[in-house]
Amino acid sequence: MSPFISVFLGFLTCGMNAECVTPSFCRDEYNSTTKEFYRTYWGLTEVPTNIPAEALEVDLQHNSISSLPPGIFGHLSQCTKLSLENNRIILIESDSFSGLTALKFLFLWRNNIPNLPAKIFKHFKMLESLDLWQNDISSIDKEAFTGIKSLRYLQLFSNRIAHIQSGTFGPLGCLWFLSLADNGLSSIQNDTFLGLHSLRTLHLDGNNLSLVHPAGFNGLTSLKNLYLYNNKLVSLSQDVFQGLPRPLKLSMSDRTSQKPQYYWNCSNQLECPNQGMTASVFVRLALIPEKEPQKIWFD
Protein backbone atom coordinates (compact mmCIF):
# COMPACT_ATOMS: atom_id res chain seq x y z
CA MET A 1 0.00 0.00 0.00
CA SER A 2 1.30 3.42 -0.88
CA PRO A 3 2.21 5.52 2.17
CA PHE A 4 0.53 8.48 0.52
CA ILE A 5 -3.01 8.46 1.92
CA SER A 6 -5.78 10.75 0.75
CA VAL A 7 -8.17 11.88 3.45
CA PHE A 8 -11.38 13.38 2.07
CA LEU A 9 -12.62 15.74 4.72
CA GLY A 10 -15.60 16.84 2.70
CA PHE A 11 -17.61 14.01 4.17
CA LEU A 12 -16.81 15.05 7.72
CA THR A 13 -18.76 17.54 9.80
CA CYS A 14 -16.02 20.14 9.72
CA GLY A 15 -16.04 20.24 5.92
CA MET A 16 -19.58 19.42 4.82
CA ASN A 17 -19.99 22.75 3.04
CA ALA A 18 -16.48 22.88 1.60
CA GLU A 19 -16.00 22.58 -2.12
CA CYS A 20 -12.92 22.52 -4.29
CA VAL A 21 -12.83 26.07 -5.66
CA THR A 22 -9.80 25.57 -7.93
CA PRO A 23 -9.70 21.92 -9.10
CA SER A 24 -6.25 22.13 -10.61
CA PHE A 25 -4.80 23.27 -7.25
CA CYS A 26 -6.95 21.46 -4.67
CA ARG A 27 -5.11 19.17 -2.29
CA ASP A 28 -6.81 16.95 0.26
CA GLU A 29 -4.11 14.62 1.46
CA TYR A 30 -2.13 13.30 4.38
CA ASN A 31 1.28 11.80 3.76
CA SER A 32 1.87 9.31 6.55
CA THR A 33 5.58 9.06 5.73
CA THR A 34 6.46 12.75 5.81
CA LYS A 35 3.55 13.55 8.14
CA GLU A 36 2.38 16.43 5.96
CA PHE A 37 -1.29 17.43 5.99
CA TYR A 38 -2.76 19.39 3.05
CA ARG A 39 -6.21 20.94 2.73
CA THR A 40 -5.81 23.80 0.26
CA TYR A 41 -8.12 25.64 -2.17
CA TRP A 42 -11.22 24.02 -0.64
CA GLY A 43 -13.07 27.12 0.53
CA LEU A 44 -12.90 26.01 4.17
CA THR A 45 -14.43 28.54 6.57
CA GLU A 46 -12.91 26.99 9.67
CA VAL A 47 -9.91 24.93 10.69
CA PRO A 48 -10.50 21.16 10.28
CA THR A 49 -10.77 19.36 13.60
CA ASN A 50 -9.36 16.03 12.46
CA ILE A 51 -5.79 16.97 11.60
CA PRO A 52 -3.65 14.00 12.76
CA ALA A 53 -1.90 14.71 16.05
CA GLU A 54 1.41 13.44 14.66
CA ALA A 55 1.41 15.92 11.73
CA LEU A 56 4.67 17.80 11.36
CA GLU A 57 3.48 20.21 8.66
CA VAL A 58 -0.05 21.56 8.19
CA ASP A 59 -1.01 23.46 5.03
CA LEU A 60 -4.39 25.23 5.02
CA GLN A 61 -3.58 28.04 2.61
CA HIS A 62 -6.00 29.45 0.03
CA ASN A 63 -9.21 28.88 1.96
CA SER A 64 -11.77 31.20 3.58
CA ILE A 65 -10.92 30.67 7.25
CA SER A 66 -11.82 33.82 9.19
CA SER A 67 -11.02 32.98 12.83
CA LEU A 68 -8.75 30.81 14.94
CA PRO A 69 -10.64 29.66 18.06
CA PRO A 70 -8.67 29.06 21.28
CA GLY A 71 -7.06 25.63 21.38
CA ILE A 72 -7.89 24.73 17.77
CA PHE A 73 -4.29 23.52 17.29
CA GLY A 74 -3.92 22.22 20.84
CA HIS A 75 -3.22 18.62 19.80
CA LEU A 76 -0.45 19.52 17.33
CA SER A 77 2.48 19.53 19.73
CA GLN A 78 4.80 18.05 17.08
CA CYS A 79 3.92 20.46 14.27
CA THR A 80 6.87 22.54 13.03
CA LYS A 81 5.27 24.37 10.08
CA LEU A 82 1.79 25.91 9.83
CA SER A 83 0.61 27.56 6.60
CA LEU A 84 -2.47 29.79 6.90
CA GLU A 85 -1.67 32.31 4.19
CA ASN A 86 -4.29 33.52 1.71
CA ASN A 87 -7.27 33.10 4.00
CA ARG A 88 -9.65 35.67 5.52
CA ILE A 89 -8.40 35.56 9.09
CA ILE A 90 -9.51 38.60 11.04
CA LEU A 91 -9.68 37.24 14.57
CA ILE A 92 -6.79 35.72 16.53
CA GLU A 93 -7.41 35.10 20.21
CA SER A 94 -4.91 34.86 23.06
CA ASP A 95 -4.88 31.06 23.01
CA SER A 96 -5.38 30.50 19.28
CA PHE A 97 -1.90 29.02 19.02
CA SER A 98 -1.80 27.08 22.28
CA GLY A 99 -0.27 23.64 21.91
CA LEU A 100 2.06 24.56 19.03
CA THR A 101 5.13 24.33 21.22
CA ALA A 102 7.39 22.89 18.48
CA LEU A 103 6.37 25.32 15.72
CA LYS A 104 9.25 26.92 13.80
CA PHE A 105 7.51 28.45 10.75
CA LEU A 106 4.19 30.34 10.78
CA PHE A 107 2.75 31.79 7.55
CA LEU A 108 -0.12 34.27 8.00
CA TRP A 109 0.42 36.56 5.03
CA ARG A 110 -2.46 37.86 2.90
CA ASN A 111 -5.14 37.74 5.57
CA ASN A 112 -7.21 40.50 7.21
CA ILE A 113 -5.57 40.67 10.63
CA PRO A 114 -6.16 44.22 11.99
CA ASN A 115 -3.83 44.27 15.02
CA LEU A 116 -1.41 42.28 17.12
CA PRO A 117 -2.61 42.11 20.76
CA ALA A 118 -0.39 41.63 23.80
CA LYS A 119 1.31 38.24 24.12
CA ILE A 120 -0.51 36.84 21.08
CA PHE A 121 2.53 34.68 20.26
CA LYS A 122 3.33 33.66 23.83
CA HIS A 123 2.98 29.94 23.13
CA PHE A 124 5.84 29.84 20.64
CA LYS A 125 9.10 28.75 22.25
CA MET A 126 10.88 27.60 19.09
CA LEU A 127 9.44 29.89 16.38
CA GLU A 128 12.08 31.06 13.90
CA SER A 129 10.08 32.67 11.08
CA LEU A 130 6.86 34.71 11.22
CA ASP A 131 5.22 36.02 8.02
CA LEU A 132 2.52 38.67 8.51
CA TRP A 133 2.88 40.72 5.33
CA GLN A 134 -0.13 42.06 3.41
CA ASN A 135 -2.60 42.10 6.27
CA ASP A 136 -4.51 45.09 7.69
CA ILE A 137 -2.32 45.52 10.76
CA SER A 138 -2.53 49.10 12.00
CA SER A 139 -1.41 48.65 15.60
CA ILE A 140 1.04 46.45 17.47
CA ASP A 141 0.78 46.12 21.24
CA LYS A 142 4.05 46.77 23.01
CA GLU A 143 3.93 43.21 24.41
CA ALA A 144 2.84 41.49 21.19
CA PHE A 145 6.15 39.67 20.74
CA THR A 146 6.64 38.63 24.35
CA GLY A 147 7.70 35.01 24.56
CA ILE A 148 9.17 34.37 21.10
CA LYS A 149 12.85 34.81 21.92
CA SER A 150 14.02 32.41 19.19
CA LEU A 151 12.56 34.39 16.25
CA ARG A 152 14.99 35.04 13.37
CA TYR A 153 12.80 36.43 10.56
CA LEU A 154 9.84 38.81 10.89
CA GLN A 155 7.91 40.06 7.85
CA LEU A 156 5.49 42.95 8.50
CA PHE A 157 5.66 44.74 5.17
CA SER A 158 2.58 45.99 3.27
CA ASN A 159 0.39 46.65 6.29
CA ARG A 160 -1.04 49.87 7.78
CA ILE A 161 1.42 50.41 10.62
CA ALA A 162 1.80 54.11 11.35
CA HIS A 163 3.47 54.02 14.76
CA ILE A 164 5.71 51.67 16.74
CA GLN A 165 6.18 52.05 20.47
CA SER A 166 9.72 52.00 21.81
CA GLY A 167 10.48 48.57 23.20
CA THR A 168 8.01 46.69 21.01
CA PHE A 169 10.77 44.58 19.49
CA GLY A 170 12.70 44.27 22.75
CA PRO A 171 12.00 40.55 23.29
CA LEU A 172 13.42 39.66 19.85
CA GLY A 173 17.08 39.58 20.72
CA CYS A 174 17.81 36.79 18.21
CA LEU A 175 16.09 38.48 15.24
CA TRP A 176 18.22 38.70 12.08
CA PHE A 177 15.75 40.14 9.54
CA LEU A 178 12.92 42.67 9.97
CA SER A 179 10.83 44.20 7.21
CA LEU A 180 8.50 47.12 7.90
CA ALA A 181 8.50 48.26 4.29
CA ASP A 182 5.41 49.74 2.63
CA ASN A 183 3.60 50.81 5.76
CA GLY A 184 2.57 54.28 6.97
CA LEU A 185 5.44 55.15 9.28
CA SER A 186 6.17 58.88 9.36
CA SER A 187 8.88 58.90 12.00
CA ILE A 188 11.27 56.66 13.91
CA GLN A 189 11.28 57.43 17.62
CA ASN A 190 14.25 57.08 19.93
CA ASP A 191 14.92 53.46 20.94
CA THR A 192 12.33 52.05 18.52
CA PHE A 193 14.60 49.08 17.78
CA LEU A 194 16.25 48.76 21.17
CA GLY A 195 16.88 45.11 21.97
CA LEU A 196 17.50 44.00 18.38
CA HIS A 197 21.21 43.51 18.96
CA SER A 198 21.39 40.58 16.48
CA LEU A 199 19.52 42.32 13.65
CA ARG A 200 21.41 42.29 10.34
CA THR A 201 18.83 43.61 7.86
CA LEU A 202 16.20 46.31 8.41
CA HIS A 203 13.71 47.37 5.73
CA LEU A 204 12.00 50.74 6.24
CA ASP A 205 11.62 51.53 2.54
CA GLY A 206 8.30 52.62 1.06
CA ASN A 207 6.98 54.45 4.11
CA ASN A 208 6.30 58.16 4.73
CA LEU A 209 9.34 58.79 6.87
CA SER A 210 10.23 62.44 7.24
CA LEU A 211 11.92 62.22 10.64
CA VAL A 212 14.38 59.85 12.29
CA HIS A 213 15.15 60.84 15.88
CA PRO A 214 18.83 60.92 16.91
CA ALA A 215 18.61 57.61 18.81
CA GLY A 216 16.19 56.01 16.37
CA PHE A 217 18.64 53.25 15.48
CA ASN A 218 19.99 52.86 18.97
CA GLY A 219 20.93 49.27 19.83
CA LEU A 220 21.39 47.96 16.27
CA THR A 221 24.93 46.83 16.95
CA SER A 222 24.97 44.02 14.34
CA LEU A 223 23.22 45.84 11.47
CA LYS A 224 24.66 45.27 7.99
CA ASN A 225 21.87 46.42 5.64
CA LEU A 226 19.57 49.43 6.14
CA TYR A 227 16.92 50.27 3.53
CA LEU A 228 15.42 53.77 3.69
CA TYR A 229 14.58 54.48 0.04
CA ASN A 230 11.14 55.69 -1.12
CA ASN A 231 10.52 57.90 1.90
CA LYS A 232 10.26 61.65 2.49
CA LEU A 233 13.53 62.28 4.29
CA VAL A 234 15.02 65.72 3.74
CA SER A 235 17.41 65.94 6.67
CA LEU A 236 18.89 63.69 9.31
CA SER A 237 20.51 64.47 12.65
CA GLN A 238 24.27 64.09 12.93
CA ASP A 239 23.71 61.42 15.58
CA VAL A 240 21.42 59.09 13.60
CA PHE A 241 24.21 56.75 12.48
CA GLN A 242 26.27 56.96 15.64
CA GLY A 243 26.80 53.53 17.15
CA LEU A 244 25.97 51.59 13.99
CA PRO A 245 28.62 49.06 12.96
CA ARG A 246 30.95 49.26 9.97
CA PRO A 247 30.69 48.23 7.21
CA LEU A 248 27.02 49.16 6.72
CA LYS A 249 25.15 49.21 3.40
CA LEU A 250 22.61 52.04 3.25
CA SER A 251 20.06 52.32 0.42
CA MET A 252 18.21 55.61 -0.02
CA SER A 253 16.24 57.53 -2.62
CA ASP A 254 13.61 60.22 -2.93
CA ARG A 255 10.20 59.72 -4.56
CA THR A 256 10.03 63.09 -6.28
CA SER A 257 13.59 63.89 -7.35
CA GLN A 258 14.41 63.48 -11.02
CA LYS A 259 18.15 64.05 -10.77
CA PRO A 260 20.45 62.87 -8.01
CA GLN A 261 21.82 65.57 -5.76
CA TYR A 262 24.08 64.99 -2.79
CA TYR A 263 24.63 67.28 0.17
CA TRP A 264 27.18 66.13 2.71
CA ASN A 265 28.85 67.18 5.89
CA CYS A 266 32.12 65.41 5.22
CA SER A 267 34.57 63.54 7.38
CA ASN A 268 36.46 60.33 6.78
CA GLN A 269 33.95 57.53 7.41
CA LEU A 270 31.44 57.40 4.55
CA GLU A 271 32.41 57.10 0.90
CA CYS A 272 30.22 59.22 -1.38
CA PRO A 273 29.67 57.61 -4.81
CA ASN A 274 31.10 59.62 -7.71
CA GLN A 275 32.00 62.49 -5.43
CA GLY A 276 35.64 61.79 -4.68
CA MET A 277 35.09 62.59 -1.02
CA THR A 278 33.97 60.99 2.22
CA ALA A 279 31.18 61.89 4.60
CA SER A 280 29.59 60.64 7.79
CA VAL A 281 26.59 62.92 8.27
CA PHE A 282 23.73 63.74 5.90
CA VAL A 283 22.84 67.43 6.09
CA ARG A 284 20.31 67.35 3.28
CA LEU A 285 19.00 64.50 1.16
CA ALA A 286 17.66 64.99 -2.35
CA LEU A 287 18.69 61.69 -3.75
CA ILE A 288 17.91 59.57 -6.78
CA PRO A 289 14.75 58.36 -8.52
CA GLU A 290 12.52 55.69 -7.02
CA LYS A 291 13.65 52.88 -9.33
CA GLU A 292 17.34 53.42 -8.65
CA PRO A 293 17.97 53.37 -4.89
CA GLN A 294 21.48 54.56 -4.15
CA LYS A 295 23.67 52.09 -2.29
CA ILE A 296 26.16 53.66 0.06
CA TRP A 297 28.76 51.71 2.00
CA PHE A 298 30.08 52.72 5.40
CA ASP A 299 33.70 51.71 5.97
For the chain, domain boundaries: 164-299
The residue among 48, 53, 2 whose CA lies nearest residue 28 is: 48
Q: Is 192 left (phi over 0), alpha (psi -120 to 50) or beta?
A: alpha
Taking the model in full, what pTM does it have? 0.82
Q: Is the omega angle on the peptide bond into residue 117 within 30 degrees of 0, that is, cis? A: no
pLDDT digits (tens, 9 = 90+) for 192-231: 999 999 999 999 999 999 999 999 999 999 999 998 888 8
- Strand, coil or helix: 249: strand
CA 119 to CA 251: how far, in whole Å?
33
3-state secondary structure 153-180: EEECCCCCCCCCCCCCCCCCCCCCEEEC
pLDDT digits (tens, 9 = 90+) for 158-182: 999 999 999 999 999 999 999 999 9
Residue type, position 291, single letter? K
pLDDT digits (tens, 9 = 90+) for 105-157: 999 999 999 999 999 999 999 999 999 999 999 999 999 999 999 999 999 99
Q: Domain spanning 164-299 has what CATH number?
A: 3.80.10.10
Is the per-residue pLDDT at 9 higher than 80? Answer: no
Confidence tier at 289 by pLDDT (50, 70, 90) = very low
Number of alpha carbons in the 13 Å side-chain half-sphere of residue 134: 9
CA 25 to CA 85: how far, in whole Å?
15
The segment with the largest mean pLDDT, out of 1-5, 6-10, 66-70, is 66-70
